[in-house]
Amino acid sequence: MKHRRILLLNPGAMGAAVGACCKQAGHQVYWVSEGRSPASRQRAQAQELTEAATLREALRKVDIVISVCPPHAAQETAAAVIEQRFRGIYVDANAISPATSQTIQQQLEAARIRYVDGGIIGQPPAKAGTTRLYLAGADAQEVAGLFDGSWMDARCLDAPAGAASALKITYAAWTKGAGALLGAIRALAQANGIEEALLDEWALSQPELVGRSRYVAERADKAWRWVGEMQEIAATFEAAGLPGDFHHGAAEIYQRLALFKDVEEAPSFLQVSNALLKP
Amino acid sequence: MKHRRILLLNPGAMGAAVGACCKQAGHQVYWVSEGRSPASRQRAQAQELTEAATLREALRKVDIVISVCPPHAAQETAAAVIEQRFRGIYVDANAISPATSQTIQQQLEAARIRYVDGGIIGQPPAKAGTTRLYLAGADAQEVAGLFDGSWMDARCLDAPAGAASALKITYAAWTKGAGALLGAIRALAQANGIEEALLDEWALSQPELVGRSRYVAERADKAWRWVGEMQEIAATFEAAGLPGDFHHGAAEIYQRLALFKDVEEAPSFLQVSNALLKP
């Protein structure tokens, strides 16, 4: 495949790793420094991504944009690209509902930008075999080819745009939804003075839960960005006529943990319980 | 321990097994036939429980009552016993919130009936080691002794009445809450045309979910009685200032599956999905 120029919006932990995979496959990957944090700069430089000062400048150089950002920022990221009269392929790889994906698709296509719907499952890849980028839409195959020979396992779904978002949403509905539920249960046990008895019963009959119930503590630094993701998931359930309640609950849990944003060290479960019980 | 006379309300699948454990321990166990189904009669006879025609007749013979019933029936069961001017120990072993347990306790104690709070974790015991009956309250030790030498592992919590209910509630909050969540997710995947892709991704990265997601199908015959249990769980979360949403969602899922009440054979997942998506 020929050498391509790609803009990666933006180099967060996952975004920088996605950009690194495109570089690994032999492409040139840009990032936009305007308005980004020192941590983003550090990650972009560590992966040797090419700096562009502004979005405008970057979009003049590339023919593919890949959006990897918190779900609540997905629409404004697409809107900013449309505003610059970009022509090319726009990949949204965010944890958004199929309906939000469809809205973005319509806005992009009205501006004559080709849309590919994506969803990432797994951790930021630091080796092969850990992470899939699912893709759907007319140009999915072309985008998948960008990752040939990289650590990212890019897979095309034989389905229209929206399917990759739906897959990501249903996958995260369990991992992050169940994580929130389990954390809330453990806080509830504490509030009722039976946390030790519950942990003893779990050790006996559900031994994996003792460790799993620490998920919300171990991932507390990410909670702030999962609020929007839980809302996208709830909206997806409701659009299908299913109850969105599970993920409204999960959104509330992660909202109460947003104070742990970017902490260096995971809080103790007691700190998590206190944040959940006395918000 | 001396031979006691115990009334078991009522011989459902779990109740009959609890009664059988008391018999195993050498006690005489009564059941009330008035108003019960042929299936209850069959279970009571299979366990050789002693029939009493009416609640009034049974209460004249026993000094301990154990209530094992769907959570929505727990309060009326206690009220019926109070109305008969029973004097003795009343054990509520149902999946009720600590607040409901406290209400029942107050009503019983106002009628000079001693209250023991209980919660059963595990399947109806058909051998030793599968099932715990947690007990809390001033007379918990005496009730635990009723099961000495039986298949039921009766355990006293060093905590006031309400603690056993809280333990049962927090335990079921995961098993039945997560089961409902997983079933809803799989139905959502079907509604979005990506069920196969989700099952493939699960097989790759969360292999236990493929089987676990059938929980709502395998237990569909019990869904009708879990609606009330999910509501008790939601109320317990809300009483602690935590979101009750997870279990409002689970209650809705089990409500939609209530049509499978007492089916002989578990429905297929497609039948479950259809019930969830087109209620």
CA A122/CA A130 separation, integer angstroms? 6
- Kindly list the residues from chain A whose CB atom is less than 8 angstroms away from the CB atom of residue B193: 159, 163, 166
pLDDT score of B2 more than 90: no
Q: Length of chain A in residues, anyone?
A: 279
Task: Give tens-digit pLDDT for A89-135.
Answer: 999 999 999 999 999 999 999 999 999 999 999 999 999 999 999 99
Residue to test with chain B: of A194, A205, A231, most B Cβ within 10 A: A194
CA A74/CA A222 separation, integer angstroms? 17
- Kindly list the residues from chain B whose CB atom is less than 8 angstroms away from the CB atom of residue A241: 191, 277-279
Of B167, B194, B278, the CB nearest to A198: B167
Q: Do B188 and A167 touch (CB under 8 A)?
A: no
Residue to test with chain B: of A123, A157, A158, A174, most B Cβ within 10 A: A174
Mean pLDDT of chain B: 97
Q: Which of B179, B168, B158, B20 lies closest to B94, judged by CA?
A: B168
Q: Are A194 and A221 in contact (CB under 8 A)?
A: no
pLDDT score of A202 more than 60: yes
Task: Give tens-digit pLDDT for B63-100.
Answer: 999 999 999 999 999 999 999 999 999 999 999 999 99
Task: Give tens-digit pLDDT for A56-99.
Answer: 999 999 999 999 999 999 999 999 999 999 999 999 999 999 99
Q: Hey, is B116 helix, strand or coil?
A: strand
Shortest Cα–Cα distance, A103 to chain B (Å): 16
How far, rounded to the nearest angstrom, does the alpha carbon of residue A48 sit from its chain's CA centroid?
A: 22
Residue with tokens 């509604």: B191
pLDDT at B273: 96
Residue A2's pLDDT band, with cuts at 50, 70 and 90, is confident
Shortest Cα–Cα distance, B243 to chain A (Å): 6
Check if the interface score ipTM surpasses 0.90: yes
Task: Give tens-digit pLDDT for B179-206.
Answer: 999 999 999 999 999 999 999 999 999 9
Q: Do A181 and B182 touch (CB under 8 A)?
A: no
Of B157, B178, B201, the CB nearest to A178: B178
Q: Do B192 and A236 touch (CB under 8 A)?
A: yes
Shortest Cα–Cα distance, A38 to chain B (Å): 34
CA B241/CA B235 separation, integer angstroms? 10
Q: Do B201 and A240 touch (CB under 8 A)?
A: no
Q: Do A197 and B167 touch (CB under 8 A)?
A: yes
For A169-181, what is the mean pLDDT? 98
Q: Do A171 and B209 touch (CB under 8 A)?
A: no
Residue to test with chain A: of B194, B209, B216, B254, most A Cβ within 10 A: B194
Q: Do B177 and A181 touch (CB under 8 A)?
A: yes
- Give one word for A85, left, alpha or beta, with left for phi > 0 and alpha for psi -120 to 50: left
Q: Do B249 and A253 touch (CB under 8 A)?
A: no
Task: Give tens-digit pLDDT for B108-146.
Answer: 999 999 999 999 999 999 999 999 999 999 999 999 999
Phi/psi for A136 (5° steps) reads: -145, 145
What predicted TM-score, i.e. pTM, was given to this entire model?
0.94
pLDDT at A262: 84
Q: Do B170 and A244 touch (CB under 8 A)?
A: no
- Kindly list the residues from chain B whose CB atom is less than 8 angstroms away from the CB atom of residue A132: 201, 204
- Kindly list the residues from chain A whose CB atom is less than 8 angstroms away from the CB atom of residue B171: 198, 201-202
Q: Are B143 and B154 in contact (CB under 8 A)?
A: yes
Q: Do A121 and B201 touch (CB under 8 A)?
A: yes
Residue A218's pLDDT band, with cuts at 50, 70 and 90, is very high
pLDDT score of B278 more than 90: no
Task: Give tens-digit pLDDT for B40-68.
Answer: 999 999 999 999 999 999 999 999 999 99
Phi/psi for A243 (5° steps) reads: -65, 130
Q: Are A19 and A31 in contact (CB under 8 A)?
A: yes
Shortest Cα–Cα distance, A18 to chain B (Å): 19
pLDDT score of A1 more than 60: no
- Kindly list the residues from chain A whose CB atom is less than 8 angstroms away from the CB atom of residue B184: 237, 242-243, 246
Residue to test with chain B: of A117, A204, A245, most B Cβ within 10 A: A245
Q: Do B122 and A174 touch (CB under 8 A)?
A: no
Q: Do A185 and B167 touch (CB under 8 A)?
A: no
Q: Do B249 and A243 touch (CB under 8 A)?
A: yes
Q: Do A163 and B252 touch (CB under 8 A)?
A: no
Q: Are B198 and B189 in contact (CB under 8 A)?
A: yes
pLDDT at A214: 93
Crossing angle for the helix pair B163-191 and B223-239, nearest 10 degrees? 120
For B263-269, what is the mean pLDDT? 94
pLDDT at B262: 84
- Kindly list the residues from chain A whose CB atom is less than 8 angstroms away from the CB atom of residue B194: 157, 159, 163, 166-167, 170
Shortest Cα–Cα distance, A136 to chain B (Å): 11
Residue B9's pLDDT band, with cuts at 50, 70 and 90, is very high
pLDDT at B1: 57
